Structure 1
Amino acid sequence: MQKDQFFTRRRMLLAGAAAVGAAGTAGVVLAGGTEETARIPAAPAPGPQARQALKPSAFRLQPLTGYGPPRPAPRKLKVRTEPILKISGRGRHMMLTFDDGPNPEYTPHILDTLARYDVRAMFFLCGECVVDNRELVARMADEGHVVGNHTWTHPLLTTLNRRQIRDEMERTSDAIEDSYGERPQWFRAPYGAWNRAAFQLGAEMGMEPMAWTVDTTDWMTPGTSTIIDRVESGAAPGVVVLSHDAGGDRSQTVHAIREWLPHLLDSGYHMTVPRRRT
């Protein structure tokens, strides 16, 4: 499926996600529709925008999935019933997340802006985009960003059976490992539509479910100024910001981050990413 079709499809699916999920499966949680239930431990930021975690070119030191030693079993996680919405930690820390990519037209510009201000972010990647843009995933590894699993084809999970959900998630984790060097430890359900199977399978694969606090609504292309206003007005300690680097025309997102990111940094906010589990 072409990623530029998400713009129209997303509007229709978001409107029906809650109803479809309730009819098709018990225990559906729409991200943003519940109160905060858990927080992500943020990586410490000892300097203005300290970079830690992955070393440059770390992904190149890892064997390809099919040729390396047997993969260790993923760490067993507690099965959550709601996604994580905020990050923990003291001070004015926020986290930036980008969904649906990578995209060769927009992702490089976002990475350039993050590099300019020495900021790390999280990218929730779709498997079919990963295999077409491996060099961008490798760049994310090089520059210390954290990547998460956003399924292979960006389906509405509440319409799939357990086997289909597992396939969407496993294929994507395999593709990410081949390009990034590590399997993802975070998962985000497309459209923010969760069900018990997604929570259970994610935990089995060693991935925590992450949602968001502030939605820029950039997928609606509301205008660059509107995106800037949503981020700046929603800024607060612990906030997780949702943006998109694919799935449609993301030129407004590219222009907006060039404005709101330096503004937030000048306001004393620090952008962080989660600590990696070992």
Structure 2
Amino acid sequence: MKKHKILWIGIIGILFLAGCSHLSTSAGPDNKENQQTENKEDTQEKTDEDNITEEQEEQKDPGNSEEHDKETASPESGPDDRAIEPQYELTDNWSIKPIKDEAEENVVLLTIDDAPDKHALEMAKTLKDLDAKAIFFVNGHFLENEEKKKVLKKIHEMGFLIGNHTYHHQALVDATEEEQKNEIVRLNDLIEDIIGERPKFFRAPNGQNTDYSKQVAKEEGMLLMNWSYGYDWNEEYMDEEALADIMVNTELLGNGANLLMHDREWTADALEEIVSGLREKGYEIVDPGLIKTK
């Protein structure tokens, strides 16, 4: 009887072990899949939490998001393109005067006519080295070859404003209205083709305008400009020292004076001394881009 009891206990033990082994084997893959599913859910929850955290941080500190937008902005958006507010205006006697309280009074304006002949680029480099601005008034007949077009483009790229001085330097008082318009508008078209913008200043040859040339300049959006004084076309001042002396020591020099010079060898040679002399007298060279043109 005892033998039978022991035998049954042994059989039951074997069956129990076999059943546990079967359950363990069949449950393995299911547990693995369940574990993978749980891991995926945990990962997704973690990602969602991270995203929420980033969104919350941007909401808390909008400056970071704005800074990011600036850093990732397209290059086409460029720097601040807002127009510079004018600080000076041209007077009836062709000098400039401040129209803003913060604008300096003791300034002078430099202008160079008949460019780009032979020395305009040299003069532009001198002014650039001296950190002095100027308007280069150009003639169209100097721009009829590619070399001179490149010179004009370089001058513009160096930061100098380009003005219209007519195509052929023809005396407008002796020209028909059709000729006057052609002298002005044809040059504006050419300048725009070279530098990508039309001039904002117009100076007639010899300073002689007509009612019609004034009308055309206005239609073209240009400010009429003559000058306060200039000397480099007079034979006695076709010399570096003589020209530098008169440009700085003339009695016509004063606040807002509009200085006329030309693309000439002696003027190019005297230019550095002229700028230095003006500054020694307490005058600053005004940026023509600050002059009101409309």
TM bucket (normalised to shorter chain) is 0.5 to 0.7
Find the aligned partners of 2:156 and 2:201 in 1 and give their Cα distance: 15
Find the aligned partners of 1:230 and 1:123 in 2 and give their Cα distance: 21
- Check if 1:149 corresponds to 2:164: yes
Residues 158, 195 of structure 1: 8 Å contact kept = yes
Residues 218, 253 of structure 1: 8 Å contact kept = no
Q: Deviations over 1:201-226 (max 9, x none)?
A: 11111111100001123364532222
- Check if 1:210 corresponds to 2:225: yes
- Equivalence for 2:279: 265
What is the identity percentage for the equivalent residue pairs of Structure 1 and Structure 2? 27
Q: Deviations over 1:17-45 (max 9, x none)?
A: xxxxxxxxxxxxxxxxxxxxxxxxxxxxx
- Give the residue type in structure 2 aligned to 1:86: S
- Equivalence for 1:86: 95
- Give the residue type in structure 2 aligned to 1:115: K
Higher RCO, 1 or 2 (CA under 8 Å, sep at least 6)? 1
- Check if 1:243 corresponds to 2:261: yes
Unmatched 5+ stretches in structure 1: 1-60, 62-79
- Equivalence for 2:216: 201
Q: Report matched runs for 1:152-171 at 5 Å.
A: 152-171=167-186
Q: Deviations over 1:166-213 (max 9, x none)?
A: 001011001111112210111000011111111111111111110000
- Check if 1:230 corresponds to 2:246: yes
Residues 223, 293 of structure 2: 8 Å contact kept = no
Find the aligned partners of 2:122 and 2:112 in 1 and give their Cα distance: 13
Q: How many Å apart are 1:277 and its aligned residue?
A: 5.4
- Equivalence for 1:119: 132
Match of 2:115, SS state, is coil
Q: How many Å apart are 1:154 and its aligned residue?
A: 0.2
RMSD: 2.2
Q: How many Å apart are 1:130 and its aligned residue?
A: 2.7
Q: How many residues align?
A: 194
Normalised to the residue count of structure 1, the TM-score between the two structures is 0.65
Larger relative helix fraction: 2
Find the aligned partners of 2:279 and 2:151 in 1 and give their Cα distance: 25
Q: Report matched runs for 1:64-75 at 5 Å.
A: none
Find the aligned partners of 1:99 and 1:179 in 2 and give their Cα distance: 18
With over 3 angstroms needed to count, the CA separation of the structure-2 counterparts of 1:83 and 1:183, relative to structure 1, is farther
Normalised to the residue count of structure 2, the TM-score between the two structures is 0.61
- Equivalence for 2:151: 136
Bigger Rg, structure 1 or 2: 2
With over 3 angstroms needed to count, the CA separation of the structure-2 counterparts of 1:83 and 1:184, relative to structure 1, is farther
Match of 1:215, SS state, is coil
